[in-house]
């Protein structure tokens, strides 16, 4: 009597799991695009932390859903390389000077991996188009907020620095997301037969192309230029597949939307304050200029960062610990250092790849490079494999395009180090790229699966709790009172800014013992910083 119901029950559970995975990716992507706070004392973290919280929540739900499935795990080469990248990152974090920064960076890395495996699971269920649509909507929402800022919206939540950043807070970040979204939008607009899909594709192409122009982000421009050349060659050599995948006359609509976005961005007056009479032309001229300006600063930073890799070749200085250790190897006149604090101006180097080799070591970087190459090869094979439908083959090309653009952008800017971009890259790669044959099959069963479920729940509860505590600490700190700052230090013991501010306020009021403890905590977080020592000096030196 019960046997006929078993397949139906299994199918129902599978559909529920797929809905959970889609919802988890939506939380991470849409939260990553739009979540922010107005605590202006934290001009970076007020954007970063809410987005990281969205990734933590989404990845936690997705991880529990993936572990809870009863089917055995099928590991491809890409899966094993990703697992190796995670394992080496974990080992690197164990030896980091600043464990709080390492833990936070690990959360983004692990969250991206969960997004990848969630996307791959949904691809296996035939739901890859849902993932692409979610990512496209998220990128378009972020670009729409940047356009609002560019054309005069002066909302409190926006940052005046590095406009038009919109809800991402920085024009470079929104440009990177816009660039990665274009292949997905071209695929969605070109292959969709529904009015909603066509509308999303066209509107998304208009918005993201316009933001890409207005941002003047050279890394994104270069990545898109390389992608256009590669895709033109590929599409020309496989014209039959392209024609079969794209709805008749839809290619003209796609090209028109791309060109319209560029023209409208250049023609419509905006409120951006560029220090040039021809800002866009200047940016085009400076795309490959690394002899002066920010390009020269990047080269100098890369060379200096390699000193960290040379000193710590095996495991690096630890995830998220580049700003902690960089001042120890940089000269005082280094452009990456702030004159006021002798600390780095940014919490990451201007390159994903430089961050990988300096923070996680040579071996981990080689594994990440091998994973990137493997994904690109799988995308190419998927494009060439006639076993797939023409739309699936074009989807594989779109997924590979996202990886290619991200890899190029990551040579010159921080991209995958940020939660929203990490969500976008890994979810797109997992959902759209066919990963090939499995090389190993296995996984825990029975009681082992139950233990793994418990461990997974504890891990992601830890990430969610820690990130939520940091967001709450920002709110407390923003009250400006000593009590608020001390409470913030308790909720976020890993915040150098909060610990230092607590030490300075306490020292000013003659409360030397707690001032010493807070200053010592700040000094442990950033051993090469000078301000904690100055705070300690007000109270006669360190605590005994």
Is residue 108 pLDDT above 70, yes or no?
yes
Q: Averaged over 363-388, what is the pLDDT? A: 96
Is residue 288 pLDDT above 70, yes or no?
no
**What Cα–Cα distance (Å) separates residue 346 from each residue in 61, 326, 327?**
31, 11, 12
Which residue do the tokens 């233990």 mark? 451
**Span of 168-177, 293-302, 487-496, 508-517 with lowest mean pLDDT:** 293-302
**What Cα–Cα distance (Å) separates residue 192 from each residue in 31, 137, 170, 327, 454?**
26, 15, 32, 51, 41
Query: What pLDDT does 205 receive?
Result: 97
Q: What is the dihedral sign for C-alpha 331, 335, 337, 339?
A: positive
Closest CA to 18 of 160, 103, 146, 131: 131
C-alpha 481/C-alpha 484 separation (Å) is 5
pLDDT in tens, 208-232: 999 999 998 999 999 999 999 999 8
Query: What pLDDT does 537 receive?
Result: 78
C-alpha 231/C-alpha 226 separation (Å) is 9
Count the Cβ atoms, other than its own, within 10 Å of residue 529.
19
The model's confidence at residue 342, banded by pLDDT at 50, 70 and 90, is confident
Q: Averaged over 232-253, what is the pLDDT? A: 86
**Span of 447-456, 501-510, 531-540 with lowest mean pLDDT:** 531-540
Is residue 6 pLDDT above 50, yes or no?
no
Is residue 439 pLDDT above 90, yes or no?
no
Q: Using CA atoms in the order 200, 404, 312, 495, what is the torsion angle rounded to 10 degrees? A: -10
Most confident of 185-189, 237-241, 540-544: 185-189
Query: What pLDDT does 1 receive?
Result: 33
C-alpha 325/C-alpha 101 separation (Å) is 12
Is residue 289 pLDDT above 90, yes or no?
no
Give the chain's mean pLDDT: 90
Count the Cβ atoms, other than its own, within 10 Å of residue 195.
8
The ranges assigned to domains in the chain are 76-270+279-441, 480-544
Closest CA to 482 of 498, 463, 496, 493: 498
Is residue 141 pLDDT above 50, yes or no?
yes
Most confident of 6-15, 177-186, 268-277: 177-186
pLDDT in tens, 352-374: 999 999 999 999 999 999 999 99
Beta bridge partners of 442: 73
The model's confidence at residue 281, banded by pLDDT at 50, 70 and 90, is low
Count the Cβ atoms, other than its own, within 10 Å of residue 525.
22
Is residue 404 pLDDT above 80, yes or no?
yes
Q: What percentage of the chain has pLDDT greater than the value 90?
A: 72
Q: Averaged over 246-260, what is the pLDDT? A: 91
């Amino acid at each position: 009597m019960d046997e006929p119901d078993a397949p139906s029950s299994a199918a129902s559970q599978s559909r529920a799991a797929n809905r959970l995975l889609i919802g988890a990716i939506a939380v991470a992507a849409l939260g990553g695009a739009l979540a922010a706070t107005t605590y202006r004392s934290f001009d970076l973290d007020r954007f970063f932390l809410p987005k990281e919280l969205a990734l933590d929540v989404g990845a936690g739900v997705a991880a529990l859903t993936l572990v809870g499935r009863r089917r055995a795990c099928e590991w491809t080469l890409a899966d094993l390389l990703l697992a190796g990248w995670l394992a080496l990152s974990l080992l690197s974090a164990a030896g980091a000077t600043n464990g709080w920064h390492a833990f936070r960076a690990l959360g983004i890395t692990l969250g991206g991996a969960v997004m990848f495996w969630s996307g791959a699971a949904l691809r296996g269920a035939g739901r890859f188009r849902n993932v692409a649509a979610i990512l496209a909507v998220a990128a378009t929402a972020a670009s729409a907020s940047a356009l609002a800022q560019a054309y005069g919206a002066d909302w409190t939540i926006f940052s005046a620095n590095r406009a038009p950043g919109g809800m991402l807070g920085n024009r470079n970040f929104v440009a990177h997301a816009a660039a990665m979204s274009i292949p997905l939008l071209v695929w969605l607009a070109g292959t969709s037969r529904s009015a909603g899909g066509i509308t999303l594709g066209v509107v998304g192409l208009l918005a993201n192309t316009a933001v890409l122009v207005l941002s003047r982000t050279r890394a994104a421009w270069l990545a898109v230029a390389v992608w256009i050349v590669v895709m033109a060659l590929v599409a020309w050599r496989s014209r039959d597949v392209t024609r079969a995948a794209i709805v008749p006359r839809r290619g003209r609509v796609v090209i028109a939307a791309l060109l319209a976005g560029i023209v409208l961005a250049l023609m419509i007056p905006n409120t951006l304050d560029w220090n040039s009479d021809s800002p866009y032309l200047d940016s085009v001229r400076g795309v490959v200029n690394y002899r002066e300006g920010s390009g020269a600063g990047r080269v100098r930073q890369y060379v200096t960062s390699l000193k960290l890799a040379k000193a710590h070749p095996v495991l690096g200085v630890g995830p998220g610990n580049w700003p902690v250790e960089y001042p120890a190897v940089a000269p005082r006149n280094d452009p990456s250092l702030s004159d006021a604090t002798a600390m780095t101006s940014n919490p990451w180097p201007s390159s994903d790849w430089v961050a990988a080799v300096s923070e996680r070591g040579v071996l981990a970087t080689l594994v990440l490079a091998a994973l990137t190459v493997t994904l690109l090869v799988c995308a190419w094979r998927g494009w060439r494999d006639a076993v797939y439908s023409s739309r699936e083959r074009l989807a594989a090309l779109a997924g590979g395009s996202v990886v290619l653009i991200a890899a190029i952008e990551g040579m010159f800017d921080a991209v995958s180090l940020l939660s929203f971009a990490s969500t976008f890259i890994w979810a797109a790669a997992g959902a759209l790229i066919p990963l090939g044959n499995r090389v190993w099959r296995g996984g825990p069963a029975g009681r082992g699966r139950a233990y793994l479920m418990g461990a997974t729940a504890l891990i992601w509860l830890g990430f969610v709790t820690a990130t939520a505590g940091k967001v709450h600490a920002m709110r407390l700190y923003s009250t400006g009172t000593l009590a608020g700052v001390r409470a913030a230090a308790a909720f976020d013991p890993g915040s150098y800014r909060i610990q230092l501010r607590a030490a300075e306020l306490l020292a000013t009021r003659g409360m030397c013992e707690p001032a010493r403890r807070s200053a010592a905590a700040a000094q442990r977080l950033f051993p090469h910083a000078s301000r904690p020592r100055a705070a300690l000096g007000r109270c006669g030196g360190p605590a005994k």
